[in-house]
Structure 1
């Protein structure tokens, strides 16, 4: 796929001084302060790269700098790719999003809703309606994540190691384990960040007749030339793989050779990471590693209505459906969320089929546009696509959890402040 052309910010209606200010902010507040090891920022507007910067280190202990081709764990930024893959099957008439999930996973036909108790002695009630595929796409399924640590159902997920990217098991064993655990709530009654997108990956494999990872490679990654995106990092690229850290605001911990870095604790060493070998559990919810350049390619296809360089993933009407608020009643995430963890926490934000969607920018209290859609990953990676402003922003670092610092709010404010010629 032909790489986008760099251009001066001013030529695409942006301010170089304002974009340079974003880099200075990242360096002063996060890198020099020891909160982030390093950062990468891409800003794309009106068909050109308006800003591209790398700062700091990809691996602190080994003093490896962040480079343009650094490979990151993108965790939940996997979800939009999985959602697009599923909607490709919808476009082919192989499945519909209003079908019951139990049509494809009969083991789930009698799933109940949690009332009381602990595993395995749960007290349940029947759901008010069956779980539909649309519930998986918009996180209203009643499924959860074990790391929410909010309920007895979450605890059962942790006990079964359900949806944990770096653990053993397969998509099939996840489906079988979920058949024994009740739902958090009746489908459609609330929004809860969950393993639902992992289930979508399972369904892609089952409906297409091709293992999910093969489908993703054959239908999205290879056609778009996303050669650095995969569920593991091969040995030939291991030197480009960033270390992952945990935020430690109270102080640092000792790294290799007695080195310390204030505010960071090594969480996953790129030399010994489980991501260096193909996983048994192929996580459509959080398993991919990628580069900023590869993810920009995917985002460019979406900004272009589902097509890039002659490769069409989905049609523009399907994409429009995906980027509309699908929360029942047209409500916003804070109104309906049961989740203690998600990548969007603001009023004015709805959820579509795989993305959070800005509906009313004024209620977010952050600059933006109606119809902008986005998501992020657990290690503080994030992206957003603003069709109205012909804008894509991609940010990469490797610090868990994404909620440690208000970086995403700051990035939005500062990048939108750099726009000098608005399309609106």
Structure 2
């Protein structure tokens, strides 16, 4: 007997497979949920949210979702787009003046860069699809990345900086390329979060709460450990030289301190249940239980490849070390989008859209099969183990209808 076309015995392989990651010490603990047509067909968890305290992963465990914040920020921006506050082709300098007259790196060193004026402005759509020319300091592949690190921006921001201050700092640094001409994963979604603040007149946390979390019933999603979230928040782990999960409180405690930087690119805490509410809204075309955040056509536009000429991330992107192959993957307005599952080397559907977080969390939405999948754990970085590809092959091989 199948459940929504899934073979329960085949789904059970998921738990057995990932339990081994905990039992041999590679992961602290994890939680996974698979849904089809809105019905949860598989949910499992194993291991510890805090190994040292022997606290298990539970139904309401809170996880740092890092870059799984990005789709939420992208939805927030597109809600404001639907209200006519801006067009996708608007230069962001219209709203954030520091981005006027941007420079592009031509050569030189981090201390003595050679630059030229950008051929055109950064536009809103460039923030949404990571073609802005901005970067992340943690890439370690270019002089531009070094300049971000020299300014204090690698895995976070200098202590006490606000979102507005950080965005102005980035605007003073040169771009890697002319906006719209390449793809490079970057702080662009944090800049997009600042755009949300400027346009809405609200702080990003307040906009999220009033316009997204409350309507969707996402009661445990937050930038801070308010209420009892701190007691339910998992510890953060990094692999040691033998691949064993080792606690790292330097990273872990950042979520427990005073939050001055509201990171739309990676700052949220959430639960599997809350993020399930978000993915169901996406799957249903922008609406859930009577709360409509986006129009269905807007969501379709967000989940189509926006890279010029239908190129994938390998063809159009800056080569980066990543946890999954970029072959056959395009990028929409806030999500990567599967263009060619064969090139991607994975089971799945054309049009499936997805993203993940630095601590090895991941989700995807498959409109063709009406599937949503969420995986939560707390191991940094996400490239440590092939969790996402293995989960995908096990979910789709359990589908037998």
Q: Residues 334-361 of structure 1, C-alpha deviation per residue, up to 9 Å, x if partnerless?
A: 1122152456533111000000001111
TM superposition score normalised by structure 1: 0.91
Show structure 1 runs of 5+ residues with no match: 1-8, 252-261
Find 1:267's aligned residue among 245, 248, 252.
248
| Cα distance between partner residues in 2 of 1:364 and 1:66 | 32
Deviation at 1:222, TM superposition (A): 1.1
Q: Residues 164-205 of structure 1, C-alpha deviation per residue, up to 9 Å, x if partnerless?
A: 446421111112211221001111111100000000000000
Find 1:384's aligned residue among 343, 361, 364.
364
Deviation at 1:277, TM superposition (A): 3.9
Partner residue in 2 for 1:254: none
Check if 1:53 corresponds to 2:34. no
Deviation at 1:275, TM superposition (A): 1.2
TM superposition score normalised by structure 2: 0.96
| Cα distance between partner residues in 2 of 1:269 and 1:21 | 35
Are the counterparts in 1 of residues 323 and 386 from structure 2 also a CA contact under 8 Å?
A: no
| Cα distance between partner residues in 1 of 2:275 and 2:42 | 15
| Cα distance between partner residues in 1 of 2:156 and 2:139 | 15
Q: How does 1:199-210 map to 2 (within 5 A)?
A: 199-210=191-202
| Cα distance between partner residues in 1 of 2:164 and 2:151 | 13
Show structure 2 runs of 5+ residues with no match: none
Partner residue in 2 for 1:289: 269
Partner residue in 2 for 1:215: 207
DSSP-derived class of the 1:50 partner:
strand
Check if 1:394 corresponds to 2:374. yes
Check if 1:84 corresponds to 2:85. no
Partner residue in 1 for 2:143: 152
Are the counterparts in 2 of residues 333 and 350 from structure 1 also a CA contact under 8 Å?
A: yes
| Cα distance between partner residues in 1 of 2:324 and 2:180 | 19
Q: Residues 23-59 of structure 1, C-alpha deviation per residue, up to 9 Å, x if partnerless?
A: 100012x111211011100001122110111101110
DSSP-derived class of the 2:212 partner:
helix
Find 1:301's aligned residue among 249, 266, 281.
281
Partner residue in 2 for 1:71: 62
Find 2:308's aligned residue among 297, 313, 328.
328
| Cα distance between partner residues in 2 of 1:319 and 1:144 | 26
| Cα distance between partner residues in 2 of 1:152 and 1:47 | 46
Q: How does 1:151-190 map to 2 (within 5 A)?
A: 151-162=142-153, 164-165=155-156, 167-168=158-159, 169-190=161-182
DSSP-derived class of the 1:11 partner:
coil
Closer, same or farther: CA 362–409 of 1 in aligned 2, 3 Å: same
How many pairs are equivalent?
Answer: 400
Q: CA RMSD in A?
A: 1.6
Check if 1:239 corresponds to 2:220. no
Deviation at 1:78, TM superposition (A): 0.1
Are the counterparts in 2 of residues 112 and 125 from structure 1 also a CA contact under 8 Å?
A: yes
| Cα distance between partner residues in 1 of 2:33 and 2:163 | 33
| Cα distance between partner residues in 1 of 2:140 and 2:55 | 35
Check if 1:365 corresponds to 2:350. no
Check if 1:114 corresponds to 2:94. no
DSSP-derived class of the 1:42 partner:
strand
Q: Residues 66-95 of structure 1, C-alpha deviation per residue, up to 9 Å, x if partnerless?
A: 011100000000000000000000000011
Check if 1:347 corresponds to 2:292. no
| Cα distance between partner residues in 1 of 2:218 and 2:244 | 33
Are the counterparts in 2 of residues 148 and 339 from structure 1 also a CA contact under 8 Å?
A: no
Partner residue in 2 for 1:4: none
